[in-house]
C-alpha cells in the first residue's frame, strides 16, 4: 500500500475491511444503479443453489432493499471487490445480529459463475474478514450459517477452513426446482475460530 507525503496510507474509497485479495466495501446507491447487483437475482445460474429467483427483481426493488438495509441496525452488509478490479463480485453480511446472545448469521451471494476459479478465493478471503470483524470487533460469541443441499459443499469448506461445526438438518425445508430440499446448519464459536487462526495465521505482506 502506498504512503503519501503526510504518512497516510492511500486507500481505496469506501473500503471497510481490507483482505489479501479482496476489499469489503461500503455499498452505495451507485452500486445499486450501475453494478448489476439487482440482476444477480434474475439469473437462474447464480440462484440455482439459493432460495432466490422466485419473483423477478428490479433496480427499483434493489434500491428499496438497499435503503432498508442501511436502516437495519441488526445487519452489516458489504460489497466484495477484488483488489485489482472495481467490479462488485459479491456481497457478504452478518445479519440477525443479536447483541444480548452475541450471535449473528453469516450470508453471502457471489455473482461469478460456478466455473470461475476466482470465486472460491474471493469467498474465502471475504469470509475470513467478516468473521474477524464479527468476533474481534463486534465481540460476538457465535456465528452461524445455513445452505440448501446443493450448497452443502460450501458448508464443508466453512468447517474445514474456519472451524465451523454441524448444527443440524432442516428436512425438506425449502421448495426449489419443483421439489422440497433439505437445508443444513453450521455454527462457529469464537474460541474455535481463534484455534483456526493459530493453526493458519494470516499471511504477512
Instruction: Report pLDDT digits (tens) over 60-118.
Output: 999 999 999 988 989 999 999 999 889 999 999 999 999 999 999 999 999 865 556 78
pLDDT for position 51 = 87
What's the pTM?
0.89
Q: What is the pLDDT of residues 19-33, one digit of tens each?
A: 999 999 999 999 999
Ordered domains of the chain (ranges, CATH): 15-199 (3.40.630.30)
Using CA atoms, how far residue 5 sits from 1, 10, 38, in Å, is 13, 10, 40
Q: Which stretches of 83-125 are assigned E, i.e. beta strand?
A: 90-98, 103-110
Locate 174 and state its grid cell. 425449502
Residue at grid coordinates 423477478: 56
Set of cell numbers at residue 178: 419443483
- List, edge to edge, every strand of the sheet that includes 142-148: 15-18, 22-26, 76-82, 90-98, 103-110, 142-148, 179-189, 165-176
Angle ∠(60,66,68) on CA atoms, nearest 5: 105
Residue range 134-143: average pLDDT? 98
Amino acid at each position: 500500500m502506498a504512503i503519501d507525503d503526510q504518512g497516510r496510507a492511500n486507500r481505496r474509497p469506501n473500503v471497510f475491511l481490507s483482505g489479501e485479495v479482496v476489499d469489503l466495501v461500503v455499498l452505495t446507491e451507485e452500486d445499486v444503479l450501475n453494478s448489476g447487483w439487482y440482476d444477480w437475482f434474475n439469473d437462474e445460474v447464480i440462484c440455482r443453489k439459493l432460495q432466490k429467483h422466485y419473483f423477478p427483481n428490479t433496480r427499483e426493488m434493489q434500491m428499496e432493499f438497499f435503503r432498508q438495509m442501511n436502516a437495519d441496525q441488526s445487519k452489516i452488509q458489504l460489497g466484495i471487490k477484488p483488489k485489482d478490479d472495481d467490479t462488485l463480485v459479491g456481497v457478504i453480511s452478518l445479519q440477525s445480529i443479536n447483541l444480548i446472545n452475541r450471535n449473528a448469521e453469516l450470508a453471502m451471494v457471489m455473482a461469478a459463475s460456478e466455473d470461475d476459479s476466482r470465486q472460491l478465493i474471493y469467498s474465502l478471503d471475504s469470509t475470513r474478514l467478516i468473521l474477524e470483524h464479527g468476533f474481534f470487533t463486534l465481540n460476538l460469541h457465535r456465528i452461524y450459517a445455513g445452505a440448501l443441499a446443493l450448497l452443502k459443499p460450501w458448508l464443508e469448506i466453512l468447517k474445514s477452513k474456519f472451524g465451523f461445526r454441524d448444527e443440524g438438518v432442516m428436512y425438506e425445508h425449502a421448495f426449489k426446482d419443483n421439489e422440497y430440499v433439505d437445508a443444513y446448519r453450521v455454527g462457529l464459536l469464537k474460541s474455535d475460530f481463534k484455534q483456526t487462526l493459530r493453526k493458519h495465521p494470516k499471511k504477512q505482506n
